[in-house]
Structure 1
Amino acid sequence: MACQTCGDATSPAFNECQRCGTPLGQPAIAPGVPTYRVRSLGTAAGIAVGAASLLYVPSGLFPVLGVRMARAAAERSDRDLLLGAAAAEVLLTLLHVLAILTAAVLVIIWTWRVRKNLEAFPGALPTLSPAWAIAGWLVPFANLVVPARVVANVARDSLWRRTTPALVGLWWTAWLVFSVGDRIVARLEEQRYGRLTEWPRSETEFATYVRFYQDALGPRLIPTVACLVAGASFVVLIRRISAAQESRIAKAAPLWPGHPGGIVAGAPYPPPRSASAYPVDPAGSIPDLPVAPGPASAPPPAPPVVGGTTGA
């Protein structure tokens, strides 16, 4: 007997498929349980995550440009260059914030859908309710653990793994390093920037801006690398989980997209209807049906002839 989910041969010695965990005799999708398509949404979420990760790189490596602009400002004693550097960094940060907000919305919806699909997969063992697929990203402190647990559960039951894939651990570790490291670096830089002279006039005061950007480059490298690793690994996870769930859902798709009672390819045609199946008029009579003449039918009587004799 072959498993209806993965197609592997099953053994009566086990109650479930040893590859995908589907109970013996169970279909790939539980009848009557709704499922959600996730391929298109997963593609959109993957693109948004990748764009947000790449847009953080110019912001994270901005001190390289900031050093050059600060040195040019010191040589020309031009404070406008320093203001331009600050404005450029703010603009890059805003672009990254917009990208990560867009990615967050798509990822939350995708996470909820793939978690909800587990309820239609016989053999799946979800540990958290679908509500945590949304609340886990938004509730403080819970967002340090819950999203990883939800995605790990989805990855195990979608990719037919007995243990959590290592890619989930790599993604979440890199994400925590990025999110926590970026906040720490931003707080320290804000304190250091507040100690700079607001309107530098001398060469020494301009030089403090050069040192500020030089010292900022090293700490920013850590969240920048972590952001790229987290983004790349999560995009791979999204693609793999979406493809696996779409493939399983497709096994439960109807053979013919017609209305209930329609003819399915390969199915026998229904028998012809009898006279009782024809519509009845309001008077309750059945309309006349054509009847083929047979050998037992008698001819109709002839009409009387005018002027003939009776009994002749």
Structure 2
Amino acid sequence: MPTYPVRGLAVAGASAVGAATVCYLLTALFPLVGVRMARSAAEQLDRDVLLGAVLVEVLFSVPYLLALLTAGTLVVIWTWRARKNLDAFPGAVPSLSPAWAIAGWLVPLVNLVVPARVLADLLRNSVWQRRQSWLVGVWWASWLVFLIGDRFVARAEQQRYDRLTELPRNDAEFGTYVRYYEEALTPRLVPAVACLVAGIAFVVLIRRISAAQQDRLARAVPAWPGQPVWPGQPAWPGHPGPPAPAASATSPQVPPGPGGTIGA
């Protein structure tokens, strides 16, 4: 069965997941910056400062989106390779086919359940330690909280933002932007904490599964031609070994002596 190295891909995937987690935390904490800019705009009655706050938040979101896309691509490839390696491990009994290692991440609604089952398969059949299975549960629960919480918070914030005055003119209208950013921080903390827990748990899972698989791959030594075989003996049951050397057609060489002859 073919096997695939996963160590390098695991390092890249774990780094991308960590970068995406940090970038999301920065976007979640942006209201701390937004409220200061909104207060400055209210003091100066300057709409351009409010526009600047919107642009800064967009700039915060771009690195997160790039890191998320990179992490998603690397994680899907890593999951597929790690799942394919299970087919070459004696005693491994995965419950899902390698196709689910890709489709499980991409199909809507399915991606709420299947990735956790795939990771549970990888952990169980690679590490062989049941006491570590709780890591999958921690990752799965925090991942669901992050996905659902982030969408709920984003929708609620969009509805609140749509109710703001598009062109504020006085202190009261500028004050609504200040309150908007003040009230935006607390709801964002729930998906932010969930994202942090999910990111840490997933990085630990990637590293442990990859280390266990690479160890098994490194200890897998082929039975042939690595083992020495005596001439004329079978290399393995049912297969002939290398042929024995044929007898020499010439007489053996003997050292010359007085009155002797040199072998032909």
- Short-chain TM bin: 0.7 to 0.9
Q: Contact 1:152/1:164 (CA < 8 Å) preserved in 2?
A: no
Matched AA of 1:45: G
Question: Normalising by the residue count of structure 2, what TM-score does the alignment of the two structures yield?
Answer: 0.86
- Identity of paired residues, percent? 59
Larger radius of gyration: 1
Range with bigger deviation, 154-163 or 111-120? 154-163
Structure 1 position 161, deviation (Å): 2.8
Matched AA of 1:127: S
1:192 is the counterpart of 2:175? no
One of 215, 219, 240 as aligned partner of 1:247: 215
Alignment partner, residue 223 of structure 1 = 191
Structure 1, unaligned runs of 5 or more: 1-32, 277-287, 299-312
1:274 is the counterpart of 2:246? yes
1:209 is the counterpart of 2:209? no
Structure 1 position 34, deviation (Å): 1.2
Q: Give 1 or 2: higher helix fraction.
A: 2
Aligned counterparts of 2:80 and 2:93: Cα–Cα separation in 1: 16
Matched AA of 1:108: V
SS in 2 for 1:34: coil
Structure 2, unaligned runs of 5 or more: 232-241
1:235 is the counterpart of 2:203? yes
Structure 1 position 58, deviation (Å): 1.1
Alignment partner, residue 55 of structure 1 = 23
SS in 1 for 2:2: coil
Aligned counterparts of 2:10 and 2:178: Cα–Cα separation in 1: 43
Structure 1 position 296, deviation (Å): 9.9
Aligned counterparts of 1:164 and 1:292: Cα–Cα separation in 2: 69
Alignment partner, residue 5 of structure 2 = 37
SS in 2 for 1:124: coil
Aligned counterparts of 1:73 and 1:105: Cα–Cα separation in 2: 41
Q: Residues 152-201 of structure 1, C-alpha deviation per residue, up to 9 Å, x if partnerless? A: 11111111134761111101111111111111101111111011111111
1:153 is the counterpart of 2:118? no
One of 136, 139, 162 as aligned partner of 1:168: 136
Q: Contact 1:156/1:163 (CA < 8 Å) preserved in 2?
A: no
Aligned counterparts of 1:83 and 1:140: Cα–Cα separation in 2: 35
Alignment of 1:57-72 (within 5 A): 57-72=25-40
Cα distance, 1:140–1:271 mapped onto 2, change above 3 Å? closer
Q: Contact 1:48/1:99 (CA < 8 Å) preserved in 2?
A: yes
Structure 1 position 268, deviation (Å): 5.8
Matched AA of 1:79: R
1:132 is the counterpart of 2:132? no
Q: Residues 138-159 of structure 1, C-alpha deviation per residue, up to 9 Å, x if partnerless? A: 1111000000000011111111
Aligned counterparts of 2:75 and 2:4: Cα–Cα separation in 1: 15
- Count the aligned residue pairs: 249
Aligned counterparts of 2:27 and 2:130: Cα–Cα separation in 1: 40
Aligned counterparts of 1:74 and 1:113: Cα–Cα separation in 2: 55
Aligned counterparts of 2:230 and 2:209: Cα–Cα separation in 1: 39
Alignment partner, residue 280 of structure 1 = none
Matched AA of 1:274: A
Aligned counterparts of 2:92 and 2:243: Cα–Cα separation in 1: 43
Range with bigger deviation, 172-181 or 162-171? 162-171
Q: Residues 232-270 of structure 1, C-alpha deviation per residue, up to 9 Å, x if partnerless? A: 110011000000000011111459xxxx86xx5866688
SS in 2 for 1:120: coil
SS in 2 for 1:242: helix
Q: Contact 1:34/1:120 (CA < 8 Å) preserved in 2?
A: yes
Q: Contact 1:182/1:220 (CA < 8 Å) preserved in 2?
A: yes
Aligned counterparts of 2:244 and 2:127: Cα–Cα separation in 1: 49
Matched AA of 2:197: V
CA RMSD of aligned residues (A): 2.7
One of 137, 148, 171 as aligned partner of 1:180: 148
Alignment partner, residue 13 of structure 1 = none
Structure 1 position 93, deviation (Å): 1.2
